């Protein structure tokens, strides 16, 4: 007889009957491509993150690409990015023919700061991408001020940060441009999907056009018009549209965001409580200037911890717990072999010595206790 409890996943989207019905309603309406539900999702999303405009796209990767095109970044330009991020952050810079310049991060948050960007910035630096890594907000007040002084545009990669706050306001509020993800690893999911937010209406209009082949009138506009609309193609654009089926799911998910963040913060606080006295293990915390959504609850093993990160990962796996290595570092991947960069000691330490623990909306205390038991056991080796 198998007495083993089911595996504890590292992440599980919180989807249910309501999302299924919303998707079914979109299908039954006969309008499945970008249409009224995308427009409604954009409006609700902009309001939620405190931005004037939101432009839905097919992923955060395409959102980052479009944002860089919109900012006029291209061949001969440099863009400062953290290496400690999902690889899409750096890749987007390559898509427009610009050069990623890797900046180190601060250990407490895993994020770039005005000082780490300043240390590597070049005269050709046209933009900076700051990532709110794992949902921990970056210090955007300082970064926005520094970028304004340098004459560089600040693009916020907020893929992980829906529901996180800075200075009491949502991440995204006041951003020149922020890019968001609805991949199932993030809190709010539409399967695949992304969003751009900005306060600049003209700019949002251009991004809307760029996501739809550079067309002067959107397919939805033409369809809604009773007289023929002859579109023209004003510049070379892309097909980065979201579907109405995805937006229908997104609208339901957005309505659950407050509950998602509250539950994740509750579970994170319980991890803190149960792991707080383990020597050599440092859990991620809120910075002074803001609050995270705990999309990723990661722990850093300090030199005093008796087991190596990969040994802990293996012990968790043996105990039926799925964890993940810490946040990746792009400069260590084959895709960036030979790409010159300054020393990145903090990035390399975090990616080597950190671990992302399971945390999901429906996680039980019993499941969390199983994770904690393995970590406490490893600490006594
Ligand atoms: C997930 C993620 C992305 C990519 O998002 P997609 O929607 O999957 O394209 C980009 N940047 C960061 C920091 C991410 O975590």
Closest to 128 in 3D by CA, of 146, 109, 107:
146
Query: What's the confidence (pLDDT) of residue 25?
Result: 98
- Is the predicted pLDDT of residue 318 greater than 90, yes or no? yes
- Is the predicted pLDDT of residue 122 greater than 50, yes or no? yes
Query: What's the confidence (pLDDT) of residue 332?
Result: 98
Average pLDDT value over all residues in the chain: 96
Alpha carbon distance 169, 263 (integer Å):
19
CB atoms within 10 A of CB 268: 22
Query: What's the confidence (pLDDT) of residue 2?
Result: 47
Q: How far is the CA of 61 from the centre of ligand 1 (A)?
A: 6
Pair 145, 116: CB distance under 8 Å? no
Query: What's the confidence (pLDDT) of residue 327?
Result: 94
Mutate to test the pocket of ligand 1, among 10, 60, 155 (most ligand atoms within 8 A of CB): 60
Read off the tokens for 364: 């039980």
- Is the predicted pLDDT of residue 351 greater than 80, yes or no? yes
Alpha carbon distance 159, 180 (integer Å):
4
- What is the distance of C-alpha 183 from the center of its chain? 9
- Our answer on whether the CB atom of 134 is closer than 6 Å to any ligand 1 atom is no
| % of residues, the chain, pLDDT over 90 | 93
- Our answer on whether the CB atom of 181 is closer than 6 Å to any ligand 1 atom is yes
Mutate to test the pocket of ligand 1, among 88, 156, 294 (most ligand atoms within 8 A of CB): 88
- Is the predicted pLDDT of residue 206 greater than 80, yes or no? yes
pLDDT digits (tens, 9 = 90+) for 31-59: 999 999 999 999 999 999 999 999 999 99
Read off the tokens for 194: 């992304």
Distances (CA, A) of 73 to 3, 64, 69, 119, 206: 57, 11, 6, 21, 15
Q: How do the domains of the chain map onto residue ranges?
A: 17-253, 257-379
- Is the predicted pLDDT of residue 176 greater than 80, yes or no? yes
- Is the predicted pLDDT of residue 375 greater than 70, yes or no? yes
Ligand 1 atom with the shortest distance to the CA of 181: 7
- Our answer on whether the CB atom of 42 is closer than 6 Å to any ligand 1 atom is no
Read off the tokens for 2: 């198998």
pLDDT bucket at 204, cuts 50 / 70 / 90? very high
Ligand 1 atom with the shortest distance to the CA of 160: 15
Range of lowest pLDDT (226-240, 253-267, 282-296): 226-240
- Our answer on whether the CB atom of 23 is closer than 6 Å to any ligand 1 atom is no
Query: What's the confidence (pLDDT) of residue 47?
Result: 98
- Is the predicted pLDDT of residue 355 greater than 60, yes or no? yes
pLDDT digits (tens, 9 = 90+) for 17-32: 999 999 999 999 999 9
Reduce the DSSP state of residue 250 to 3 states and report it: helix
Query: What's the confidence (pLDDT) of residue 3?
Result: 54
Distances (CA, A) of 276 to 28, 151, 280, 301, 323: 51, 43, 10, 13, 19
Query: What's the confidence (pLDDT) of residue 229?
Result: 84
> Would you name the residues annotated as active-site residues?
186
| CA-closest residue to ligand 1 atom 6 | 60
This prediction's pTM:
0.97
- Is the predicted pLDDT of residue 218 greater than 90, yes or no? no
Backbone angles phi, psi at 100, to 5 degrees: -75, 130
Ligand 1 atom with the shortest distance to the CA of 133: 13
Q: What does DSSP say about strands 153-157 and 177-181: parallel, antiparallel, or unpaired?
A: parallel
Q: Which fold has domain 17-253?
A: 3.40.640
- Is the predicted pLDDT of residue 123 greater than 90, yes or no? yes
What CATH number is given for 257-379 in this structure? Answer: 3.90.1150.10
- Our answer on whether the CB atom of 356 is closer than 6 Å to any ligand 1 atom is no
Query: What's the confidence (pLDDT) of residue 69?
Result: 98
Q: How far is the CA of 303 from the centre of ligand 1 (A)?
A: 30
Query: What's the confidence (pLDDT) of residue 1?
Result: 42
């Amino acid at each position: 007889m198998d007495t083993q409890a089911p595996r504890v996943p590292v992440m599980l989207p919180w989807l249910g009957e309501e999302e299924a019905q919303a998707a079914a309603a979109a299908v039954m309406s006969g309008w499945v491509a970008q249409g009224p539900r995308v427009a409604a999702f954009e409006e609700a999303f902009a309001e939620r993150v405190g931005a004037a405009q939101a432009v839905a796209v097919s992923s955060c990767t395409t959102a980052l690409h479009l944002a860089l095109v919109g900012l006029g970044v291209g061949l001969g330009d440099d863009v400062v990015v953290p290496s400690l991020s999902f690889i899409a952050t750096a890749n987007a810079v390559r898509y427009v023919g610009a050069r990623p310049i890797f900046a180190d991060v601060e250990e407490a948050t895993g994020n770039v700061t005005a000082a780490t960007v300043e240390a590597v910035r070049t005269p050709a630096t046209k933009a900076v991408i700051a990532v709110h890594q794992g949902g921990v907000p970056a210090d955007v007040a300082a970064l926005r001020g520094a970028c304004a002084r340098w004459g560089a545009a600040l693009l916020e990669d907020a893929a992980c940060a829906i529901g996180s706050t800075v200075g009491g306001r949502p991440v995204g509020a006041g951003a020149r441009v922020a890019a968001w993800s609805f991949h199932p690893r993030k809190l709010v999911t539409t399967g695949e999907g992304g969003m751009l937010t900005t306060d600049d209406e003209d700019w949002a209009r251009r991004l809307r056009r760029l996501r739809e082949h550079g067309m002067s009138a959107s397919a939805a506009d033409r369809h809604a018009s009773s007289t023929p609309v002859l579109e023209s193609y004003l510049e070379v654009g892309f097909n980065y549209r979201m579907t109405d089926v995805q937006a229908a799911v997104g609208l339901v998910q957005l309505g659950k965001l407050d509950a998602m963040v509250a539950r994740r913060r509750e579970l994170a606080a319980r991890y803190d409580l149960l792991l707080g006295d383990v020597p050599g293990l440092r859990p991620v915390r809120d910075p002074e200037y803001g609050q995270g959504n705990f999309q990723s609850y990661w722990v850093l093993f300090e030199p005093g911890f008796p087991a190596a990160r990969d040994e802990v990962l293996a012990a968790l796996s043996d105990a039926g717990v799925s964890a993940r290595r810490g946040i990746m570092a792009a400069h260590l991947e084959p895709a960036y072999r030979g790409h010159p960069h300054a020393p990145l000691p903090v990035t390399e330490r975090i990616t080597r010595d950190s671990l992302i623990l399971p945390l999901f909306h429906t996680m039980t205390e019993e499941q969390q206790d199983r994770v904690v038991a393995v970590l406490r056991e490893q600490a006594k080796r």
